[in-house]
Amino acid sequence: MYKLILRISLILLVVAVFMPGGELHAQYVLKQAETQASLFNYTAAKPLYSKAYKRKNTIEAARGLAGIYTETKDYVFAESWYAKVVAMPNHTAEDELNYAEVLMNNSKYSEAKQQLQAYLGKKNDDKRAANLLAGCDSAQTWMAHPLKGNLENMQALNSQYSDWGTAFYNNQFIFASDRPYDSVRRQPFFSTSNIKRRYYGMTGNSYLHLYQSNGKDSMSARLLNKGINGDYHSANATYTADGKEMYYAVTTLVKKGGSFLGKDQPYTLNIEIRKSGWDTARQAWGQAVNFPYNEVFKYSVGDPWIAPDGQTLYFTADHGDEIKGGTDIFYTQKDMDGKWQAPKNMGPSINTEGNERTPYFDEAGNFYFASDGRAGMGGLDIYKAVKSANGEWLVVNLGAPVNSPQDDFAPVFKSTSVIYFSSNRLAGKGSDDIYRFDVAKMLLFTLEGTVRDRKTNEPLREAVITLQNKITNTPLKTITDDQGRYIFKLDSVTDYDLSTVKTEYTTVTGIALTTKGLTESQTLRKDVYLDKIEVKKPVKLENIYFDLDKWNIRPDAAEELDKLVKLLKDNPTWEIEMSSHTDSRAPDAYNMKLSQRRAESTVKYLVDHGIDAERLIAKGYGETRLVNKCSNGVPCTEEEHQLNRRTEFTVLDK
């Protein structure tokens, strides 16, 4: 979901200078990274921070990367970098708070609690941190007891890019997406501008544009007309019941001080709300009109929702009277002359010290919105507010599976039992996806089990369990309790994949389960065993075999290596050595060369599947590290020789 700001610079930005000897000066690169990050050009800032950190392991570079990965919702990388930050002696209390939030985004609530408790020990009056701490306990309860119903990823609407914000117009789904699009665009308005019309520097993707689709066929998605979609962001469409008025949020390039040149300083362009009326004669949306309370150079006004009668407009802003936190929800009503009155803040029963987003009313008058300032599961959660007899709003969290450890927002109802919303939860098609939750479908089956340490058989608490519904392609998550136990409710006639992740342990994926063919309600059981991973201690990979005198990766070995790919993606800062070993039944030099080729072939497979080559070292040991007595000339069984023909990985640095 896009930020409520779009910053541009009219300065020509140089990203690197070569110093004597051909080396990049670490401090200079860091400075350039910070400049790009301040302009929200994260795609440019990220490699600069990374280069600066490799030159010199400073907390500024690590913090910069952690912040960028957080802003771009890449929480796995963000966690790894914040772990480095808080391990440094000069980290701040704010680093602990940011680390805790990212841990919550990754479902690691116990570890998040530790960071929050440490932070609150320094700043015990921080209400937001206290809410996050409470959310760590509530989230685990919601995940263990999700709402009954069917969660569906709207495959026809979603792409590998960001797709979010559902509205309905003429039986069409209206939504925003930053997917690539074919459109003629002029060249940038000035060659030294930091703003490009073809992509958004924060994400490296296209700007958000509004699309319409029938919701059933992905090929039906098409851009709304150019009168609605400009060169930059267009999103958050909302319509009056008669379909004659449309409100939406935009960003545009605006002159400051009457000139594009002016002072040699960057300035911020904020989000605005626009209204367009339906032109019946032209069968098209007419000329857009600016909302009278837009302040493009001062603050953002976005997330519009228009009441069906067109008389009340709700929106969010990050500035205004009685502002409570980051972004608050406001409303304005039309007077007798049809003019919008001064906006009013919805007050402390709705707005918090955090961010409130995406307001919406259902037909019964219940109010829905997203917030990250309450005791939630992590990121933005969706809340329902009902007005009490004394006029106060009573707010409740919708719980799982509508909410997740990531951002969940933009709720809208198609009927009283079906809610559509947007989320960047893991295992979706892209950054943000649109989901549907139908509370009418009952769940009939239960899955339960225990996660244990394979070596000690001790139960493992706080392992993150993901159950992927292969029919709807949507994931459910839970966390093991103090006894290592987990439980899920299952749909009938459905295939699932189960995976398990725990810090410092191997990742287990691809455990197949099904309720197909089951005719009676019952409880299925699946226990999972994990291997503990320690730095510089080899971990044997099972079922990695090579044909005689060959080093190519066989299909059966590829299945096992895919699990290692998943483990390395879950731990993106690990550096590992891949090693291959042989038995002693060939000349020593031959075995050494063969094992090196096999190790290199294994590393190539990992690189081909998205793992950075800089994180990997290939090492063949031949027969130099036998695990038993079967050296040259010693009689051994085939089973004993097989123990030496192994592939291992060793974590060199976390």
CB 543 within 8 A of CB 649: no
* Helix pair 93-105, 59-71: axis angle to 10 deg: 40
Which comes out higher in pLDDT, residue 125 or 389? 125
C-alpha triplet 308, 311, 316: angle, nearest 5°: 85
Whether residue 63 contacts residue 71, with contact meaning beta carbons closer than 8 Å, is answered with: no
Q: Which helix (H) or strand (E) holds 314?
A: strand 312-317
DSSP 425-476: -TTSSSSSEEEEEETTSPP-EEEEEEEEETTT--B-TT-EEEEEETTTTEEE
First to last CA, the chain: 30
What phi and psi values does residue 573 have, to the nearest 5 degrees?
A: -105, 0
For the segment 41-65, the average pLDDT, to the nearest whole number, is 92
- Spatial neighbors of 281 by CB under 8 A, at least 6 apart, are none
- pLDDT for position 182: 56
Mean of all residue pLDDT scores within the chain: 87
The pLDDT of residue 478: 93
Label residue 426 by pLDDT band (50, 70, 90): confident
pLDDT of residue 456: 96
Structure tokens at 554: 């066989």
Is residue 243 left, alpha or beta, with left meaning phi > 0 and alpha meaning psi from -120 to 50? left
- Contact (CB, 8 A) for 298 and 319: yes
Domains, the chain: 150-438 (2.120.10), 445-530 (2.60.40.1120), 539-653 (3.30.1330.60)
Mean pLDDT, range 284-308, rounded to an integer: 92
Sequence-distant (6+) residues with CB within 8 A of 487 are 144, 446, 447, 448, 478
Does the pLDDT of residue 1 top 90, yes or no? Answer: no
Pick the range with the lowest mean pLDDT from 212-216, 221-225, 263-267, 345-349: 263-267
Mean pLDDT in residue range 525-539: 91
| Residue type at position 216 | K
Q: Provide the percentage of residues in the chain whose pLDDT is more than 90.
A: 61
Q: What's 537's DSSP letter?
A: -
Interval 574-624: pLDDT, tens: 999 999 999 998 899 999 999 999 999 999 999 999 999 999 999 999 999
Confidence at 283, pLDDT banded by 50, 70, 90: confident
pLDDT-derived band of residue 6, with 50, 70 and 90 as boundaries?
Answer: very low
Q: Is the pLDDT of residue 27 over 90?
A: no
Describe the chain by its helix, strand, coil percentages, rounded to 5: 25, 30, 45
pLDDT at 203 over 80: no
pTM: 0.77
| Span 441-460, average pLDDT | 87
Angle between helical axes of 42-55 and 26-38 (0-180°, round to 10):
160
Residue 28: band (very low, low, confident or very high) from pLDDT cuts 50, 70, 90: confident
The whole-angstrom separation of Cα 25 and Cα 32 is 11
CA distance 621 to 593: 9
Query: Could you give the residue ranges of the DSSP H alpha helices within 512-612?
Result: 555-570, 588-608
99-113, 153-167, 178-192, 422-436: least confidently modelled range:
178-192
Residue (of 328, 355, 422, 428) closest to 101 by Cα position = 355
Average pLDDT over residues 45-73: 93
pLDDT at 547 over 80: no
